[in-house]
Amino acid sequence: MNSSKRTPVLAANWKMYKTVAETRDFLKVFLPLVNNLTEREIVIAPPFTALSAAGEIIKKSELVTLAAQNMYFEQKGGFTGEISSIMLKEFGVKWVILGHSERRHIFGEENSLISLKVKSALENDLLPILCIGEKLEEREAGLMHEILEKQLSAGFSEVGNQEADKVVVAYEPVWAIGTGKTATPDQAQDAHINIRSWLTGRFDSGIAGQIRILYGGSVKPENINELMALPDVDGALVGGASLKPGSFAQIASCRVG
Ligand code: PGA
């Protein structure tokens, strides 16, 4: 499959960083730096508390859109501390990151919960960024493909052919997140090919070929072009290196096509 048919996505996952004031300061510097870019989508995922301010600032941009870092699958109810899709959409949120490894491993989110969240996001017109990835011990035990397949089967369990290409998959090996250890190009391409082949088995091949697969885990300005040159890498989900406007602008300006 020719990757040029898929529009690349460069997404910033800010995690639990940035107040409203810091979000405004970032966007003031960042937006002019990426103003002239084309042939890509740039996504910013601030914390919930900064979504409103970020949404106001970027609402005129066609290039830059807003993501939430998580949501609950119910629309409302007695779920203290949770946020629903209708609340997110009020701020102009377009995407939602689901199943991030920190949600899975720090907050104990299981595949079954992530499956319900993906279904709910699609039902409520939010585009899921479904994160999957193996831990180091799983990779070393030869279990990587099995783990990724389990996460994919759960994540896509309620997704039909006609909506499958609304989901973006982010392959983020847990051992590469926040560690400075990026997967080598061979490791990334190997995982991405396997993910693509799983998608092709599950959906019509035309649809499976449209699904974007991002790489995440210590992406930085120095390695983005090498990663983007891989045929099955359709973008990146970036944590640490997305917190400075200059650094994320360099990543967002990567070579595409
Ligand atoms: P990192 O985080 O770029 O800091 O490794 C990526 C992520 O967790 O999405």
**199 Rama sector, left if φ>0, alpha if ψ -120 to 50, beta otherwise:** alpha
DSSP strand pairing (9-13 vs 213-216): unpaired
Q: Can you read off the two tokens belonging to residue 107?
A: 């907050």
- The finding on whether 217 has its CB within 6 A of some atom of ligand 1 is yes
Per DSSP, the three-state class of 224 is: helix
Cα–Cα distance measured from residue 249 to residue 257, given in angstroms and rounded to the nearest whole number: 18
Ligand 1, atom 3: nearest CA belongs to which residue?
Answer: 239
193-232 residue pLDDT tens: 999 999 999 999 899 999 999 999 999 999 999 999 999 9
Residue 102 is among the residues annotated as catalytic for this protein: no
Q: CA end-to-end span of the chain, whole Å?
A: 13
142-193 residue pLDDT tens: 999 999 999 999 999 999 999 999 999 999 999 999 998 889 999 999 999 9
Per DSSP, the three-state class of 218 is: coil
State the DSSP code for 3: G
48-59 residue pLDDT tens: 999 999 999 999
Q: Which of 100, 109, 138, 192 is labelled catalytic?
A: 100
Which residues have C-beta within 8 Å of that of residue 121, sequence separation ≥ 6? 71, 85, 96, 98, 127, 128
pTM of the model: 0.96
Residue 110 is among the residues annotated as catalytic for this protein: no
- The finding on whether 219 has its CB within 6 A of some atom of ligand 1 is yes
**9 Rama sector, left if φ>0, alpha if ψ -120 to 50, beta otherwise:** beta
Q: Can you read off the two tokens belonging to residue 10?
A: 């460069």
One DSSP character per residue, 7-32 reads --EEEEE--S---HHHHHHHHHHHHH
